[in-house]
Every structure is written in structure tokens, then in C-alpha cells.
Amino acid sequence: MTNEKKFIYTSLIMLLISIIFLAWLGNQKMSGNQKSNWWSAYFDSTEKVPMTFVIENHSNGSQFKWELYEGKNQVESGTADVQIGKKVQITPKMDIARNVDYTLIISNQNGSKEIYNRFK
């Protein structure tokens, strides 16, 4: 076997090993539940009425508490059980007013987050 063929075969083997390793590494990073401790909250739509928000959980805690404020007044609150790797969609029962600032505070054992919306 000539040196050129050895170089080509060695390069192809190294390329194949690199592709397999990068595919495995990408799969590990994309799996949100492995060694992760995060959660997120977002509005399903910023313009659609009724107001709907989503809690997505990739943390150890599954109990979430939420409070909805219209301006500075709390208008509704509740709890949600969101298992790891799952999403829960929540629609408050209140009527939505136009051109009013809404603040949603969501918390669990790992902290709290605030999201904001104004329906036009």
C-alpha cells in the first residue's frame, strides 16, 4: 500500500470518528433534561386573547406558583405541577383589557421569573 492510500484511509477514518463524536456530543447537549437545572415561562402569543402562558420545566422542582398582575394589582394566581421535561399551558380566567400592562411572576424552589405583556 502506498503512502497516498494510507493517508487517504487514515483521513477517512479520522473524519468518520470526528462525525460520530460530534453527533454524540450534539445529542448530549440538545437533551434538555440531562444534568440540567432550568425552566422557562413565556406567553403563547403576545397578541392573542385569551392570554395563555407556558411553563417549561427542565429542573428538579415540579411545583410552580404564578401570580398575574394588571398594573400593580394582583388579579389572579394559581399553582401548576410541571414534571421534568414537560410543558404546561395555562389560561387565566380573567378578561383581558387592552392597553394595560400585565406582569406574570412565576416561581418555584429554584427562584422566580417575571414576564410582561401589553395587549393592543
pTM: 0.69
Strand partners, 39: 57
Cβ neighbours of residue 33 under 8 Å, at least 6 residues apart? Answer: 58, 84, 85
Domain ranges, residue 21:
1-30
Residues 17 and 51 in one domain: no
Same domain, yes or no: 72 and 112 = yes
Residues 111 and 84 reside in one and the same domain: yes
In tens, the pLDDT along 4-31 reads: 888 999 999 999 999 999 988 887 766 6
Number of domains in the chain: 2
pLDDT of residue 108: 92
User: Residue 51 is part of a domain; what is its CATH number?
Assistant: 2.60.40.10
Query: 24 and 49 in one domain?
Result: no
CB atoms within 10 A of CB 3: 7
Is residue 26 within a helix (H) or strand (E), and if so which, with residue range? helix 3-30
Whether residues 5 and 48 fall in one domain = no
The secondary structure of residue 49, as a DSSP letter, is S
Indicate if 58 and 92 belong to the same structural domain.
Answer: yes
DSSP 92: -
pLDDT in tens, 53-96: 999 998 888 899 999 999 899 999 999 999 988 999 999 888 77
